[in-house]
A and B are shown apart, each in its own frame.
Chain A
Amino acid sequence: MSRPPTEDELVERARRGDGAAFGALVRMEEEIAFRTAYLITRNAADAEDAAQAAFVKAFYALPRFRRGAPLRPWLLAIVANEARNKRRGGGRREALVQRAAQELPSGDAAPSPEGRLLAEEQRAELLVALESLGEDDRLVLSCRYLLELSEGETAEVLSLRRGTVKSRTSRALERLRGHLREER
């Protein structure tokens, strides 16, 4: 059985105009691309438009993509740019919401109902505090922790220097701590 193509192989094929290879790359990155766009636009329809437009632009821009470089940050930078352009157009902003609480199986390892309630309240509190931050802070923390991007990837996505990402993350965490203290 033949092994599945690597990202580099798919990129190379897409660079030569292979739409199916590019489609495979899109499938690999569509979730994080959409979520990146959503965290910036805060509107699902705008995020979908932005991510889709970004992928099409990326396909055309593939000849300028540096061979061997990781694709994701390059793609996400295009997505973020499209999303910022979309956001300038206005539109309804949606707030981040928590998933509905799920039923957990009972047993020794399962937290008590009180414990679950407490954890849920803490998460809700954290989400409110995150949402109350300024946009720069919120975006840098979203990239680093909600999207789990590295400092380098965050720098590319937000068009910042790596050092700026580091210092901005540190300051944003401090401010988030402050908001959490105020909420108590």
Chain B
Amino acid sequence: MSELELRLVALREEIDFPPTPALSVAVERAVALAPARRRRLRPLALVLAVVLVAALGVLALSPGARSAFLELFHLRGATVSRVEELPEVELIERAELLGVPVTLAAARRRAGFELADLGEPDEVYLRGDGLVTFVYGSIERPRLLLSQVRGMVWDGFVKKVGARGTSVQEVEIEGERGLFVSGDPHFVMYLDSMFRIQEERAYLAGTTLLWNRGDVLFRLEADVELAEALELARAVK
């Protein structure tokens, strides 16, 4: 090492760096709510993207943005669209999609609408936008997930389906439209607070039934056939 290099090394001790903040405290707090783990998937061709939308604040959209958005909808509060190739996405764990665990009483208190169920759930999750999910089984190994969110009060959609690997069937439940998505797993994406579709992060979901009841959007995910899914949907009280 040359003399100049030695002087530079010595200078290290002489520099008055600002004191190092205790980063670990803030970082630990930030990751405490993190999902157990994430994985990255290769792009999947011809996969269905199901977007459940946040319930609140949609009327704040500009008219132009809203009409563009309306074109995507299939149910009030949800759209199913077929894409040729999904972008590479970061898969998130189910728990992150669902929000934070809460008691049933807290969920009922904070949902802002009357929650329906299939019996007392084993676990309850609440997300910031009001989505409530009842877990039957455990979050790691759920037998059934029932989510509900107060959806949009307006309607309108352009249907883009025609599955290869994933089938989408229109169904009717108690006089309202619904969608049964089965076959290959599909991505579930969410809108951020500015109502932009977050295409970079998604949750990989299995067989799903989506339906509206009044202004509430229900989503049931379980490894069941259509007939059983419809039976379960009708039993949601």
A residues neighboring B (CB under 8 Å): 15-17, 19-20, 22-24, 26-27, 30-31, 33-35, 38, 44, 47-48, 51-52, 55-56, 59-60, 63-64, 94, 96-100, 122-123, 126-127, 130, 141, 144-148, 173, 176-177, 180
Contacts and interface: CB of A to CB of B under 8 A. Distances in A.
B42 to A, nearest CB: 14
Nearest to B13: A99
B11 A126 contact: yes
When A and B form their complex, which 4 residue pairs have the shortest distance between CB atoms, in order from nearest? A145-B8, A44-B18, A23-B28, A26-B24
Nearest to B12: A146
Given A63-B38, A63-B39, A64-B40, A52 B27 contact: yes
B196 interface: no
Tell which of B21, B32, B35 has the most Cβ of chain A within 10 Å: B21
Contacts of B30: 52, 56
Contacts of A180: 4
17 contacts: A19-B31, A26-B23, A30-B23, A51-B23, A52-B23, A52-B26, A56-B27, A59-B27, A59-B31, A98-B16, A99-B14, A99-B16, A123-B7, A144-B8, A146-B12, A173-B2, A173-B4
B196 to A, nearest CB: 20
A152 to B, nearest CB: 17
B15 A148 contact: no
A63 to B, nearest CB: 7
Contacts, number: 109
A146 B28 CA distance: 28
A47 B22 CA distance: 13
Contacts of A145: 5, 8-9, 11-12
B15 A99 contact: yes
On chain B, which size bracket covers the interface?
20 to 34
A176 B23 contact: no
Contacts of A27: 24
A166 to B, nearest CB: 13
A13 B2 CA distance: 42
B198 to A, nearest CB: 15
Nearest to B18: A44
A55 B12 contact: no
Contacts of A20: 28
B119 to A, nearest CB: 30
Given A123-B11, A146-B8, A146-B12, A19 B32 contact: yes
A176 B31 CA distance: 43
A146 B11 CA distance: 7
Given A20-B28, A56-B27, 5 more contacts: A26-B27, A48-B23, A56-B31, A99-B15, A145-B11
A94 B17 CA distance: 10
B39 to A, nearest CB: 7
Given A26-B28, A99-B14, A55 B23 contact: yes
B62 interface: no
Tell which of A60, A94, A122, A173 has the most Cβ of chain B within 10 Å: A60
A17 B20 contact: no
Nearest to A55: B27
A59 B34 contact: yes
A44 to B, nearest CB: 4
A60 B2 contact: no
A19 B11 contact: no
B41 to A, nearest CB: 12
